[in-house]
Structure 1
Amino acid sequence: PHSSDGQLKVWKLSGGFLHQLLVLSQLGGPWKRFDINITSSEEYQIVFEGIKGTSGVVALDDIEYVIGSDCSKKGPESASNQQNDAGGIAAAVIVVLLLIGLLVFLLVFYLRTKPRAQTETDSTVGFSNKAYESDHTHSSQVRAQDVE
């Protein structure tokens, strides 16, 4: 849910003074990533201030604090896209390998059953009459006289 009056602020507290680093309003929708460079020669604290609007929520996740890193040198979208692409590529490779395995199995199955079907049909080709066997038939001679 979108909230038009929600807000998230990030502050640096140093020497008793607050210095505003980031202000976000109109929160909502998909998760967003933000990188903040903090340079200071003295000790400081990072303060997160979330103001919930009339609807929706304000949430923080995966907060990472790295000393000596410059956030402006790496794009926030490029790191997450590379991970997403790696998962998609791995899934595509697995699907292709499964399809190839299925095709090989079907080909082997077809080739093993095909010769059996041909040998069965070769032995039954032709004409047969099981009721008529030439060695068991007796010809009866009918006389012309008896018929009259």
Structure 2
Amino acid sequence: MEDGLRREGDGIVRNGDKVLMSRDNVLAIADKYGIDMDGVRFSLDKVRRGSGPGREFFGVTMPDGEIKLARDAFMNEEQLARTIAHERFHLDELRDGREFPWKESARAAYESRAYAYEERWWQAHKHLIEAE
């Protein structure tokens, strides 16, 4: 392992607070927080990042249902767990037949629902961050 990288008891490889950007870590976080990833297509976007504090880019769910997780999502365990839950919510909406929000007016409601879900979800799951 590289200097600074360590695997915790939960199987997640970290460098300080940051979570190593890997498929195994995504699946380990999903498992730890009870997020079902069976049949979920996801990729790691190691290039795209936001433009600083308050303008981070965590991920996106594509119209075809693929989830792309970006570098900013891996800043710490909480952010990665929240991002996976948020994007999984979008995927569930698409799978339930909701239209992908091509127009900006529809995108605001789409994101508002997902952020409201994410916040409720995190309040119910944040105790797991300490679980090793």
- Give the TM-score, by structure 1 length: 0.24
Q: Which has the higher strand share?
A: 1
Look at both structures and tell me which one has the larger radius of gyration over its CA atoms. Answer: 1
